[in-house]
Structure 1
Amino acid sequence: MMRLSGWGPCCLLGVAVCTQTLLAQTQGVGCDGAVVLKAGRSGPCTTLAQTIAGLLEEPAVTRDHWGIAVVGMDGAPIYSLNDGQLFQPASNAKLFTTAAAMALLGAKVTYQTKVLARGVFDDGGKLTGHLMLVGNGDANLSGRVLPYVAPVPGERAAAEDSGFAPLRYLEEMADQMAATGLKSVQGDVIGDDTVFPWEAYAQDWAIDDAVWGYGAPVSALSINDNQIKVTVTPGDAVGAAASVVFDPAMPYYTLDVAVTTGAVKSGSTVQMERAPGSKVLRIYGAIGLHGQPDVEEIAIEDPAQYAALALKGMLEARGVRVTGEARARHRVLMDTESFWKESGAIEDAATKEGSPQQRIEPADDAAFGVAVTGEERTLASHVSPALAEDVVVTNKTSQNLHAELLLRQLGLARGRDGTIAQGARVVRQFLVSAGIDKDDFIFLDGSGLSGHDLVTPRAIARLLQYASGQTWFTGWKSSLPVGGVDGSLEGRFAKAPLKGKVFAKTGTLGEARALSGYVECASGRTVIFSIMVGNHLPQTHADRDVMDKIVEAIAAAN
């Protein structure tokens, strides 16, 4: 008999199990738990196990913690390694959030943003009262082009430059308002995001993430992905001050800039900092003469207030005088609830396909200081694209904010409120009903930014297999990045035979990495896989390279 080198102890201690081989060739199990095979017997599955074992013995990754699950489209196991152990999913968490959204909210659902005028209207176009810009969780109040189109390789910058204005939908609503004959507002412009409680960040989001666009606060009134593009360009001589440009150009942050132009080819050492709750953005460092501009996405501190400021400025540019201020209206969450508490079945009465529960009217006016006498009129509105189009953006580009908004929509439509906890509980109930073990996952947000999120590879494989039998599968699978083609896999699997054959979600968070999805194999068979890595060395991509080689081995062996 022989013992396969590189196979660890069995069960939760880390066995690499190749199910087809076990069924055909197992002679017994050694005293240390390693699988023992008959000598002289081999096949594709044995080759796959040996190939993976060899890859994981490479010095650059041998100390990493690996978990792998490979199954057929019917759920039949093919290979596993530590598939019952918990890993940080990073953005693989979006697989669960978007699947739940497609199943429970419906691919066709849309969300409406409104501008409500409340007060006394005079015949001359004067409103004595307030304008309420009421958000309802639309993730795409931006210049993004939908449906999603993959950028042409080498033309990404040009494609972005030719896009629509970031605040175009606010401009359209300002046009609608001016067309009503509105001339003046004796009151405030209020950005209202109270359809969801004000929970800007989930548990255990890193504090330094909050500076950047990928860690932007979550609001039911989100605008331009709640981020501002900041471009730092070198001056025309060494020692000259660099220029800083905001897009959108609307004044919002107070700038503290100390960026100089360095020597040619000296690169960029530009840093950007903002204290939590502050609207002072500090930009400092140096950027090399004739070098490429340093472009960063900076999070907007309060998206609802930012949207109100923008709308006020647009109205004034159209000749509508506004005497009051632009401010935000939030609903502070007073109740606390446990993420761990099991609840009953998902609410069926709250929704039906394509028409989930929504609340567009702001509530408790007196409590927020906006109660006025008179009447209410809808002056402008905008309807979002269908949810399925947003799911494509969320998964292709790994958009954290959009995943978080979907989580809150789930809580609002199928739970008791649009809270993080309610959304997480709805997702949990959905996953358990899909046949996933309740102890195989923990989600405290919708995007995977939380360091408390955990999941097993077998749970991801089960979700992927379950989804394949659902009516919404085709649209959901098409939202996954495609190897060598688009999204976060555009630069991976870029050559034959896997170009265009891998449909998978990436994930990266600190020293955790994941890749899970479907691969069309050499035989034409489609196989489900989930590969997760924990505790890889910082500042290295060796585990990602090995991960891609494992996918290649899976495709070749099946």
Structure 2
Amino acid sequence: MRNQALGWVLAGCILGVQAAEPLPLSVQVALRQAQLPPTALGVVVQALDETKPRLAWQADLPLNPASLTKLVTSMAALDTLGPTWQWQTPVWLTDDGGLAIQGSGDPRLGVERLWMGLKRLGITELRGPLRLDRSAFTPGSAEPGDFDNEPWRVGNALPEALLLNTKAVAYTVRVEGLQARITADPPLDRPAVVPTTPGACGDWRGALKLQWAAGQRPRFTGSYPAACGEQTWALADPDPATYPARLLALMLREAGIAWRSEATVDAPAPTTTPTLLWPGPTLGEALRDMNKASSNLMAQQVLLSSARAAGVPTPSPDTAAVWLQAWLDAHVGTEPAAHVVNGSGLARETRISPAQLATLLHWGWVQPWMPELLASLPVAGLDGTLSRQPGRFGAAVGRAHLKTGSLRDVVALAGIVDAPSGKRWVLVAIVNHAQAQAGRGVLDALLRWVAQDAPEAKTGR
């Protein structure tokens, strides 16, 4: 009975909003063209200098925001750490002639920075073991393929304190006559060769017939369309537990440092002053990487690092999500109940209302770090996940800083729109529906309408 009563209350609120504030005609047309019901959409549009929304459509309905969750993660991190907070990775040359590295969650510790960091040690030989300390974070119980059964996708890699090169290998395919050579970067696998085929490029990844299984090296058993030229395919390494040690052994050789000992993973780092600190990105820099490309792995690294700095001891993905939930409740309230299960939005269970996200954006606008948040978001028609087809956005091209969200049954858009008149608007729009992917034109219509200073809506027939 309680759930039924709640449903009646929500339905009454929705009907009231619909009757009082009809959707703009262009949005109604876009919904009809997409064959989506108006009840699939939740929207808030409000000028930053006005106290009431220009449009609030199902504004209090808890919806799955997909990657709009990264806005919550971004603001919680900026509020906790500040934009200039910087990751630091401590490194020791140990008394037994070895090397110890203590992970701090740095999300950008890639091949080039590893090589430079090792060269800075100024040595040509290591006689002792390689000790890798990953104790800053506690591993979770999830597996890389839990969400979509595609564990080979780089975005599905799990966060960890010593995240090296995002645990990924990029495979480049080059045509060499009647065959195609496949090489790995970093070169953790031997080159492979497959035959080429004539005809159009088409689905070259499918043609390669990737054989990927946990704990085994990837294999390509198919062919490659010669018309595709050179292509690169980034894959998650199938043995992430050993990836840091294998990569560091390779990087030591490439840095000209002889090493013939063994690697010990999860060994505690020394308690003495580090020999070096490898500087990582600032939070502001990491957020640009995270939001422009909508990186799920980086979002989790940012969340875990923020929770640790906020006092959560050796956070796990679960305890970090609990911290993020508490932060969210403190800033938007608990009615209706918002629910976050991770920092990335790669979840079916996350719920937040358009009004709550709009509240966060209004609050964030007056914070000293708001310029860094805006700089991290894709710009309509210019970069990141909004770089394609600038004609979609009308007057909003170059004037809207917006986070995108997309899952099988979700498309979403939220951020700040700077209209040509000089007026600034908060826009939050979320579509939840089995055919949500057809609703991108609905979001585009809303954005174009807001960029025209959200003229008074007219009811369509």
TM range (shorter): 0.7 to 0.9
Q: What is the alpha-carbon distance in structure 2 between the residues aligned to residue 415 and residue 479 of structure 1? A: 26
CA contact (8 A) 1:61 1:536 kept: no
Residue 264 of structure 1 aligns to a residue in which SS? coil
Residue 150 of structure 2 aligns to a residue in which SS? helix
2:69 equivalent to 1:85: no
**What does residue 175 of structure 1 align with?**
119
**What does residue 449 of structure 1 align with?**
346
Shift in CA distance, 233/316, structure 1 to aligned 2, threshold 3 Å: closer
Residue 15 of structure 1 aligns to a residue in which SS? helix
Number of aligned residue pairs:
441
**What does residue 84 of structure 2 align with?**
108
Return the structure number with greater relative CO, CA threshold 8 A, min gap 6: 2
Task: Please give the per-residue CA displacement for 1:488-545, whole angstroms capped at 9, x wherever unaligned.
Answer: 111254464221121110011222111111222354321111111123438xx53112
2:76 equivalent to 1:94: no
1:448 Cα deviation after fit: 1.0
Q: How does 1:280-429 map to 2 (within 5 A)?
A: 280-301=217-238, 305-317=242-254, 320-329=257-266, 362=269, 378-417=274-313, 418-429=315-326
Q: What is the alpha-carbon distance in structure 1 between the residues aligned to residue 201 and residue 383 of structure 2? A: 32
Which residue, 199, 217, 232 being the options, matches 1:264?
A: 199
Farther-moved stretch of structure 1 (376-385 vs 504-513): 376-385
**What does residue 459 of structure 2 align with?**
none
**What does residue 12 of structure 1 align with?**
11
Q: Report the AA paired with residue 286 of structure 2.
A: D
Identity %: 23
Shift in CA distance, 100/11, structure 1 to aligned 2, threshold 3 Å: same
Which residue, 129, 135, 138 being the options, matches 1:197?
A: 138
CA contact (8 A) 1:217 1:301 kept: no
**What does residue 117 of structure 1 align with?**
93
CA contact (8 A) 1:16 1:49 kept: no
Q: What is the alpha-carbon distance in structure 2 between the residues aligned to residue 319 and residue 488 of structure 1? A: 39
Residue 58 of structure 1 aligns to a residue in which SS? helix
**What does residue 5 of structure 2 align with?**
none
TM-score normalised over the length of structure 2: 0.85
Q: What is the alpha-carbon distance in structure 2 between the residues aligned to residue 281 and residue 327 of structure 1? A: 25
Q: What is the alpha-carbon distance in structure 2 between the residues aligned to residue 383 and residue 35 of structure 1? A: 56
Residue 441 of structure 1 aligns to a residue in which SS? coil
Q: What is the alpha-carbon distance in structure 2 between the residues aligned to residue 476 and residue 404 of structure 1? A: 17
CA contact (8 A) 2:34 2:438 kept: no
Q: What is the alpha-carbon distance in structure 2 between the residues aligned to residue 259 and residue 94 of structure 1? A: 40
2:104 equivalent to 1:136: yes
**What does residue 415 of structure 2 align with?**
517
2:168 equivalent to 1:245: no
CA contact (8 A) 1:536 1:543 kept: no
1:301 Cα deviation after fit: 4.3
Residue 60 of structure 2 aligns to a residue in which SS? coil
Shift in CA distance, 65/202, structure 1 to aligned 2, threshold 3 Å: farther
**What does residue 3 of structure 2 align with?**
none
Which one has a larger percent helix, Structure 1 or Structure 2? 2
Q: Report the AA paired with residue 262 of structure 1.
A: T
Q: What is the alpha-carbon distance in structure 1 between the residues aligned to residue 88 and residue 335 of structure 2? A: 35
1:426 Cα deviation after fit: 2.3
Residue 448 of structure 1 aligns to a residue in which SS? coil
Shift in CA distance, 394/320, structure 1 to aligned 2, threshold 3 Å: closer
**What does residue 487 of structure 1 align with?**
384
Q: What is the alpha-carbon distance in structure 1 between the residues aligned to residue 395 and residue 34 of structure 2? A: 27
Which residue, 7, 14, 32 being the options, matches 1:57?
A: 32
Task: Please give the per-residue CA displacement for 1:7-55, whole angstroms capped at 9, x wherever unaligned.
Answer: xx9953673767xxxxxxxxxxxxxxx627xxxxxxxx76x53433333
Residue 403 of structure 2 aligns to a residue in which SS? strand
Shift in CA distance, 420/519, structure 1 to aligned 2, threshold 3 Å: same
CA contact (8 A) 2:62 2:336 kept: no
CA contact (8 A) 1:69 1:458 kept: yes
Residue 195 of structure 1 aligns to a residue in which SS? coil
Shift in CA distance, 80/271, structure 1 to aligned 2, threshold 3 Å: farther
1:75 Cα deviation after fit: 4.9
Q: What is the alpha-carbon distance in structure 1 between the residues aligned to residue 118 and residue 61 of structure 2? A: 53
Which residue, 172, 184, 188 being the options, matches 1:231?
A: 172
What residue ranges of structure 2 are gaps of 5+ in the alignment?
Answer: 1-7, 456-461
Residue 305 of structure 2 aligns to a residue in which SS? helix
1:551 Cα deviation after fit: 1.5
Q: What is the alpha-carbon distance in structure 2 between the residues aligned to residue 231 and residue 316 of structure 1? A: 22
Shift in CA distance, 435/263, structure 1 to aligned 2, threshold 3 Å: same
2:374 equivalent to 1:477: yes
CA contact (8 A) 2:92 2:274 kept: yes
Which residue, 67, 85, 92 being the options, matches 2:42?
A: 67
Residue 224 of structure 2 aligns to a residue in which SS? strand
Give the number of the structure whose alpha-carbon radius of gyration is greater. 1
Q: What is the alpha-carbon distance in structure 2 between the residues aligned to residue 272 and residue 87 of structure 1? A: 36
Q: Report the AA paired with residue 86 of structure 1.
A: P
1:482 Cα deviation after fit: 0.7
Q: How does 1:534-545 map to 2 (within 5 A)?
A: 534-537=432-435, 541-545=437-441
**What does residue 19 of structure 2 align with?**
35
